[in-house]
Chains A and B, each alone.
Chain A
Amino acid sequence: MKKFTIKTTDKDTLQRWFYLMTLGRAIDNKAPAYLLQSLGWSYHAPYAGHDGIQLAMGEVFVKGEDFMFPYYRDMLAVLAAGMTAEEIILNGISKATDVAGGGRHMSNHFAKPEWNIENVSSATGSHDLHAVGVARAMVYYKHKGVAYTSHGEASTSEGYVYEAINGASTEQLPVIFVIQDNGYGISVPKHEQTANRKVADNFVGFKNLKIIHCNGKDVFDSMNAMTAAREYAISTSNPVIVQANCVRMGSHSNSDKQTLYRDEDELAYVKEADPLLKFRRMLLRYKRFTEEELKQIEADAKKELSQANKKAIAAPDPDPSTIFDFVTPEPYHPQKYVDGTHNETGEPKNLVTAINETLKAEFRLNPNTFLWGQDIANKEKGGVFNVSKGMQPEFGEGRVFNAPIAEDYIMGTANGMSRFRKDIRIVVEGAEFADYFWPAIDQYVECTHEYWRTNGQFSPNITVRLAAGGYIGGGLYHSQNLEGALTTLPGARIVYPSFADDAAGLLRTSLRSEGFTLFFEPKALYNAVESSTVVPDDFEVPFGKARIRRDGSDITIITYGNTTHLCLDAAERLAKDGNYSIEVIDLRSLIPLDKETIAESVKKTGKVLVVHEDKVFSGFGAEIAASIGTELYRYLDAPVQRVGSTFTPVGFNPILEKAILPNTDRIYAAAKELLEF
């Protein structure tokens, strides 16, 4: 491998490096001035002291081949990768023309998705999982390239960083993890993060992983390290950690004051190590440039900054009327089953068969479909409930495979992999049971943010399947419903079918749609007779379209999931006992919510009972009841009532479970009371 040295590197290259470093530092130094002038850039994490490694990251990045996941301090990395000073300032002062996301994401979060310089979370390190995911796609599609992901040494304390490095090691993926070690996580010295001073040493036992140490303050050492890392990652399809020792010359950010915890001696010591001044001294010492030449380059950089600044300040601000743009992408619209109903007759299928057959049909149709999760593919086994049975034998280990027991990894790599091509559609079993999905919430939030945060440039096209709910005697960790917590996050579609045909139809629509869908499966109904239906082979159900499962005129029961069947039972009993006419609406989609069908029914009946399995307190029914109360109060003859589980966990003993979860009797009683109001 060719080595970069002060003596042998050609002058044009040295000039470009010095120009980029000078320009980058000038922007870095100017950033606080925008805040002082109330122009923006209210979050600024200076990179000074990380100059060598950041220059190298950008220089080694190959546009069109590589993906870069920079963190919030990586200004020079993206500048060296080709972003302009103007683009950096547009992000800093959050303009509509900011290429990262039109001023939607925080300042100092530089990105250019068009070039695969990715827009990432402020939860630094979480993008390691995305890098692993996109590298998985590179290997699958035999694409030559690497994924760079970068952050400080303190972020390696995060579990998702370990999950990412473990996964890249296990799957043998070309990911370069750049650890920019400046000794501090904000004010926390690194000895309080981990026992090894060089955190990369924590990973020495990981198989297939190469660890390269370099001086991140030195341009040449950093260039040689990053060049070697890329060559190794591409030639062996294995991950690399580049541990770059840096210094943080400034405070962590403008909300931090380093003089509260760093003394004058330390700050002077750090200043002595200024990478830009070192590089400048070497250019002179080795007579590669004269003082006059360097001054000219510095003047040119200053001029570019001045021009970029003028253009950026004059750029338009975001339009507040656009805030609802790009929350979720336009979904697939069913052509044949426009309202998601059918009249087909024949042999009923159960829920698990309907899901399994739909997955297989869509995987046959679209070769860019993938499925992974825990325990989902080993010989004859296809998940604890056999939902994915037979898929790996048919579609191969490249498309259907087991994931480690790491839910954040399952979700994060799905996000990353879907960045590789817009036509990829991923299905993940988010956890063995919905109850175990909580460790993935960080990545769930990421998926809900992506489309909006990038101003519509990137949509994670993922369907997350989760076996949810109780009624199986499963106790606290096999009975949970998550929709009460997750429907508050904009950016996901959330569906919760109750019948086999609706499950098949919603899954097909999800797999054909752009965007992120959470697909709850009521596991108590997988093999239940009451949820079995005839399922047309090509059935489709549009998002946001409820289904009236029983027509009526006295009251409206709004429900979904397991309780749909309990409500239908209660309605039948009420019809028999009192000749009441009960309308039962199965929402099917929670987000988007079919307010039109609800409104029509409320106008007809004037009385509403909302029923779901999840807790009444702060459950999704609270939103339904409140929106009916706000938007349809004119048509109400009684306050909206709700039935759901108690505000407790679900107990394991069947006596406890019965006392906690809603049942037909409770629904019957609540409906009757409402009918008699």
Chain B
Amino acid sequence: MKKIGLFYGTSTVKTAEIAKKIQAAFGDTTMGVVAIEEAWRKDFEGYDNIILGTSTWFDGELPTYWDEILPDLDDLKLKGKKVAIFGLGNQVDYPENFVDGIGLLAETFEAGGATIVGLTSTEGYTFEKSKALRDGKFLGLAIDIDTQADKTDKRISDWVAQLKKEFN
């Protein structure tokens, strides 16, 4: 497997906790960790396999740390690269925009030529709407530590196993 770049807000608490679990689940694989608060377009282009982590703010927005980098990503050149996204959401309190952040990032990185991998089933989740949905699947890993914390570890291990097969 080619080198993986893990991008998330390192100043966050919950997203960082999940990112660290994912990093651990990959085991000894070499993984570059990049703080999104300070990242630039070229940082993404340096990896063949990319993992992005985000929460969803308010009624379906990316957090500011992601929002602020988006203008720099309007001409990403990621053709041939694979991108996997994990997102945090709360399907009970925010069922109308559950893990929208996954969908918003998928849109940006697909526009940059990347292939989105790590799609997962919606089975076991209950929500109304999500921008992360495509053809009945999530465009990444949906984590709900507010209402389904007990399922988090298995979801991560399953997803990482899946990524090991799907990554370059």
Give A contacts to B, CB under 8 Å.
Answer: 5-7, 181, 183, 196-198, 215, 218, 220, 245, 247, 269, 272-273, 278, 281-282, 285-286
Q: Do A278 and B71 touch across chains, with their CB atoms under 8 A apart? A: no
Chain B residues near A220 (CB, 8 Å)?
Answer: 71
Q: Do A7 and B67 touch across chains, with their CB atoms under 8 A apart? A: no
What is the CA–CA distance of A282 and B64 in the complex, to the nearest angstrom?
Answer: 10
What is the CA–CA distance of A239 and B68 in the complex, to the nearest angstrom?
Answer: 31
Q: Do B71 and A245 touch across chains, with their CB atoms under 8 A apart? A: no
What is the CA–CA distance of A251 and B103 in the complex, to the nearest angstrom?
Answer: 33
Partner of A278, one of B59, B68, B94: B68
Chain B residues near A6 (CB, 8 Å)?
Answer: 71
Q: Do A215 and B96 touch across chains, with their CB atoms under 8 A apart? A: no
Chain A residues near B68 (CB, 8 Å)?
Answer: 278, 281-282, 285
B residues 51-77 near A (Cβ < 8 Å) are 57-59, 61, 63-64, 67-68, 71-72, 74
Using known A-B contacts A7-B71, A282-B68, determine if residue A245 contacts B61 with beta carbons closer than 8 Å.
yes
What is the CA–CA distance of A196 and B96 in the complex, to the nearest angstrom?
Answer: 8
What is the CA–CA distance of A197 and B95 in the complex, to the nearest angstrom?
Answer: 10
Using known A-B contacts A197-B97, A273-B64, determine if residue A286 contacts B71 with beta carbons closer than 8 Å.
yes
Q: How many A-B residue pairs have CB under 8 A?
A: 37
Q: Do B58 and A278 touch across chains, with their CB atoms under 8 A apart? A: no
Chain A residues near B58 (CB, 8 Å)?
Answer: 183, 245, 247, 273
For residue A201, give the distance in angstroms from its CB to the closest CB of chain B.
9
Using known A-B contacts A197-B59, A198-B59, A247-B58, determine if residue A218 contacts B71 with beta carbons closer than 8 Å.
no
For residue A49, give the distance in angstroms from its CB to the closest CB of chain B.
11
What is the CA–CA distance of A588 and B83 in the complex, to the nearest angstrom?
Answer: 81
Partner of A286, one of B57, B59, B72: B72
For residue A51, give the distance in angstroms from its CB to the closest CB of chain B.
13
What is the CA–CA distance of A285 and B71 in the complex, to the nearest angstrom?
Answer: 11
What is the CA–CA distance of A215 and B97 in the complex, to the nearest angstrom?
Answer: 15
Chain A residues near B57 (CB, 8 Å)?
Answer: 269, 273
Q: Do B64 and A278 touch across chains, with their CB atoms under 8 A apart? A: yes
Give B contacts to A, CB under 8 Å.
Answer: 57-59, 61, 63-64, 67-68, 71-72, 74, 94, 96-97
* Minimal Cβ-Cβ distance residue in A for B63: A272
For residue A319, give the distance in angstroms from its CB to the closest CB of chain B.
48
What is the CA–CA distance of A183 and B93 in the complex, to the nearest angstrom?
Answer: 13
Max chain A C-beta neighbours (<10 A), residue from B61, B64, B67, B72: B64
For residue A292, give the distance in angstroms from its CB to the closest CB of chain B.
21
What is the CA–CA distance of A5 and B64 in the complex, to the nearest angstrom?
Answer: 15
What is the CA–CA distance of A6 and B97 in the complex, to the nearest angstrom?
Answer: 27
Chain B residues near A197 (CB, 8 Å)?
Answer: 59, 94, 96-97
Using known A-B contacts A197-B96, A286-B72, determine if residue A245 contacts B67 with beta carbons closer than 8 Å.
no
Q: Do A272 and B64 touch across chains, with their CB atoms under 8 A apart? A: yes
For residue A241, give the distance in angstroms from its CB to the closest CB of chain B.
15
Chain A residues near B72 (CB, 8 Å)?
Answer: 7, 286
Chain A residues near B64 (CB, 8 Å)?
Answer: 272-273, 278
* Minimal Cβ-Cβ distance residue in B for A215: B61
For residue A191, give the distance in angstroms from its CB to the closest CB of chain B.
9
If A215-B67, A282-B71 are given as contacts, then 6 extra A-B residue pairs at C-beta distance below 8 Å, sorted by A number, are: A5-B74, A269-B57, A272-B63, A273-B58, A278-B64, A285-B68
For residue A431, give the distance in angstroms from its CB to the closest CB of chain B.
39
Max chain B C-beta neighbours (<10 A), residue from A197, A247, A278, A286: A197
For residue B8, give the distance in angstroms from its CB to the closest CB of chain A.
15
For residue A633, give the distance in angstroms from its CB to the closest CB of chain B.
67
For residue B144, give the distance in angstroms from its CB to the closest CB of chain A.
17
Chain B residues near A196 (CB, 8 Å)?
Answer: 96
Top 4 closest pairs, chain A to chain B, by CB: A6-B71, A197-B96, A278-B64, A197-B59
For residue A38, give the distance in angstroms from its CB to the closest CB of chain B.
38
Q: Do B96 and A218 touch across chains, with their CB atoms under 8 A apart? A: no
Chain B residues near A5 (CB, 8 Å)?
Answer: 71, 74
What is the CA–CA distance of A662 and B95 in the complex, to the nearest angstrom?
Answer: 62
Using known A-B contacts A197-B96, A197-B97, A286-B72, determine if residue A218 contacts B67 with beta carbons closer than 8 Å.
yes
Chain B residues near A198 (CB, 8 Å)?
Answer: 59, 96
For residue B68, give the distance in angstroms from its CB to the closest CB of chain A.
5
What is the CA–CA distance of A196 and B59 in the complex, to the nearest angstrom?
Answer: 11
For residue B58, give the distance in angstroms from its CB to the closest CB of chain A.
6
What is the CA–CA distance of A106 and B52 in the complex, to the nearest angstrom?
Answer: 49
For residue B47, give the distance in angstroms from its CB to the closest CB of chain A.
21
For residue B12, give the distance in angstroms from its CB to the closest CB of chain A.
10
Chain B residues near A269 (CB, 8 Å)?
Answer: 57
What is the CA–CA distance of A6 and B58 in the complex, to the nearest angstrom?
Answer: 23
What is the CA–CA distance of A278 and B37 in the complex, to the nearest angstrom?
Answer: 12
For residue B6, give the distance in angstroms from its CB to the closest CB of chain A.
21
* Minimal Cβ-Cβ distance residue in B for A274: B64
What is the CA–CA distance of A245 and B68 in the complex, to the nearest angstrom?
Answer: 17
Chain A residues near B74 (CB, 8 Å)?
Answer: 5
25 A-B pairs (CB sep. < 8 Å): A5-B71, A7-B71, A7-B72, A181-B59, A196-B96, A197-B96, A197-B97, A198-B59, A198-B96, A215-B67, A220-B71, A245-B58, A245-B59, A245-B61, A272-B63, A272-B64, A273-B58, A273-B64, A278-B68, A281-B68, A282-B68, A282-B71, A285-B68, A286-B71, A286-B72
